[in-house]
Amino acid sequence: MKWVAAVFFLNLFYSVISSPEDGEPYLHVMARSSVYNAGVKRAIYCKGRNLPETLQWYSPSGDIVEGRSSRNTRVYVERSKNDTLANSLVALIIQEAMIEDSGNWTCKAGSLSETIEITVGVKALISDPDETLEGEEGKSVKLDCIAKGHPSPVVQWYIENDPIAHDHKKYVIRVKGDNYQLEIKNLTHKDTNEYVCKVTQKALSHFANKRVQLIVNHKPLLIDENNEVYYSKYRTEEVYAIMNETKNITCSVLATPPPTFRWYRRHDGFDDELLTDADTILISENGNSSVFVLRMLDESALGEYKCSADNNKGHVSIIYHVSLGNKPNAPDFVELTGKSTTSLTFNVSCSTCNTASAEEDISEDPRNLTVLGYSFEVVPVQEGFLPDWDAATEFLVNLNQSNSSLFTISPLANSTTYHVRVRTRNAAGYSDWLEVSPDPTTDLACKLTGSFILLIILSFIYPLINQ
């Protein structure tokens, strides 16, 4: 790029100082047709040799451009002091270019002339480039994109990088003067998103974006395990709990604004007791789920519970049938089979577990629930201290994820020795722990050094080759 620029300037230099064949009339405008931004100052040179008449600049309207005077201070010509017909150099000066200056400007002397086309553009400025808008479920919302510029910009709305097309139904695009307005009709929770208005003026190499974060207020919606919306006001769920342990029952909904959760103990199908214990009811940070910690002290804790979620748009509820499930047996075998700088791989098995993997073998017998997978806990070894399991990180693995008994846990830190323990899990809860012995260590990241050195060498050689 630098070379190109240097060559360009050299050419320009030579074209100024070199003279054509002696005696031959010659005229040349030392600029190309181009686009200027409004407000800039430009000097456009026209040079001539052995001219039949005085060299003049003509404006797009065909008038001769005068020299600078008290009346004429913005657009004028400047001649060099020793200007002669034999050797002439006349600059057209445009101060604070205006859109009206656009057009064909001609440098002329007798029958010799050369014309360049000048376009003066104004970069489109976007008012309010970051906006947050709220919309209401079922209503419509209008997103403005006001982009005033010259030449008129090309404007397009996007959602997640896909251009939005006017379809009369969901998306209506109206151009009102400089406002390229997008109307989104019949809002639903799915319309909560970031919308981007892209403004382009190719001639000015100008690009600008406006971002609108749209939040649609909507009634709570039930979602399934895969976060798919379930269009119903209520549903029921089977919950298995283990005697003498706690069971976390999670009630998740999709709602804006975040809902108020209430938990009820139901007797004979009626919500006859509102549960209010702050220790047993926990609301997630983002406010769209609530966890009820059920303590299975005795069989009287079994039965029906209800979670209701309300906001100003509506409400939904989930009814949980809590029954006893079996505590799964602990794994009886665990062995380290592989490691890297960031992971550890274990061969785990539980010979006494119901690990039916085929769909038809999945047991719904609460006394013999199918094992879903394992739960690993890892915590770095602190020399001279017992494992601090409270500080451990948990990794869940599903049996249905792999055909083999090998499970890889990651990310872990390199060259670190960990305490690791594993337990079985089913729909009711967890087994007792089985500790991994001896404590495994991840690999040292330095093993990468070989390729790292190669990378450094290459990064030195590459610029040399490139020259």
Ligand X SMILES: *[C@@H]1O[C@H](CO)[C@@H](O)[C@H](O)[C@H]1NC(C)=O
The site for ligand X (CB under 6 A) is made up of 80, 82, 87-89, 103-104, 117, 186, 188, 225, 227, 243-244, 246, 248, 252, 254, 282, 286, 288, 291, 293, 333, 337, 347, 354, 356, 361, 363, 368, 372, 398, 400, 402-406, 413-415, 445
Return d(Cα 66, Cα 73) in angstroms, integer. Answer: 10
DSSP per position, 224-260? -TTS-EE-SSEEEEEEEE-TTSEEEEEEEEEEESPPE
Q: Is the Cβ of residue 226 or residue 459 nearer to ligand X in the bound state?
A: 226
Residues forming a β-bridge with 155: 199
Using the structure block, give the residue that is written with the tokens 């494992």. 387
Q: Is the Cβ of residue 209 or residue 284 nearer to ligand X in the bound state?
A: 284
Q: Can you say how many angstroms the Cα of residue 70 is from the centroid of all Cα atoms in its chain?
A: 56
Q: Is the Cβ of residue 155 or residue 422 nearer to ligand X in the bound state?
A: 422
Using the structure block, give the residue that is written with the tokens 């609530």. 290
> SS3 for 413?
coil
Q: Is the Cβ of residue 9 or residue 389 nearer to ligand X in the bound state?
A: 389
Q: Nearest Cα to 231, choosing from 190, 262, 260, 269?
A: 190
Min dist. Cβ of residue 307 to ligand X (A): 14
Residue type, position 384, single letter: G
> SS3 for 204?
helix
The single-letter DSSP state of residue 180 is E
Q: Is the Cβ of residue 95 or residue 140 nearer to ligand X in the bound state?
A: 140
Min dist. Cβ of residue 415 to ligand X (A): 6
Q: Is the Cβ of residue 87 or residue 209 nearer to ligand X in the bound state?
A: 87
Which helix (DSSP H) or strand (DSSP E) does residue 4 occupy?
Answer: helix 2-17
Min dist. Cβ of residue 104 to ligand X (A): 4
Q: Is the Cβ of residue 39 or residue 411 nearer to ligand X in the bound state?
A: 411
Min dist. Cβ of residue 14 to ligand X (A): 14
Min dist. Cβ of residue 293 to ligand X (A): 5
Min dist. Cβ of residue 265 to ligand X (A): 19
Min dist. Cβ of residue 343 to ligand X (A): 12
Which helix (DSSP H) or strand (DSSP E) does residue 461 occupy?
Answer: helix 449-466
Q: Can you say how many angstroms the Cα of residue 256 is from the centroid of all Cα atoms in its chain?
A: 21
Are 416 and 314 in contact by the 8 Å Cβ rule? The answer is: no
Residue type, position 215, single letter: I
